[in-house]
Amino acid sequence: MHASHDPAAPPAPPIGFDDFLAVDVRVGTIVAAEPFPEARKPAFKLTIDFGPAIGTKRSSAQITEHYGCDELVGRQVAAVVNFPPRQIGKFMSQVLTLGFPDADGKVVLVQPSVAVPNGGRLF
């Protein structure tokens, strides 16, 4: 099940608070960003540090429209850390990096407005 990227789409059906709590969204700092030329859609391979409890995880992110590899390192992002890993070509994506669509449907990353400790959980 994929969420709609259409800003005019109606809200999803109601869920219980326990369903929300089951999704583990954490903040991490991108420590490496590399091109991912093998991906079907333009993407980068990210390495994200989620702090000592979770460690460093990798993610494939379709964020090439608004970001370059050089400007991603050091940026904090939000990601779902408790989905099963997903094979994307020869790359294993371990977390889902989160973003919102801009007016053209291109991804804009979710990030805290001020620096926070890596590994902090969304509430």
* Residue closest to 107 by CA, chosen among 87, 78, 84: 78
Mean pLDDT of the chain: 93
Note whether 81 and 50 are within 8 A (CB): yes
Residue with the larger pLDDT of the pair 5 and 28 = 28
CA dist., res. 78 & res. 46, Å (int) = 12
Whole-number pLDDT of residue 7: 76
Residue 1 has pLDDT above 80, yes or no: no
Residue 28's DSSP bridge partners are: 77
CA dist., res. 39 & res. 10, Å (int) = 31
CA dist., res. 101 & res. 107, Å (int) = 5
* Residue closest to 64 by CA, chosen among 23, 99, 24, 16: 99
49-64: per-residue pLDDT in tens? 999 999 999 999 999 9
Please state the CATH superfamily assignment of the domain spanning residues 22-109 in this structure: Nucleic acid-binding proteins (2.40.50.140)
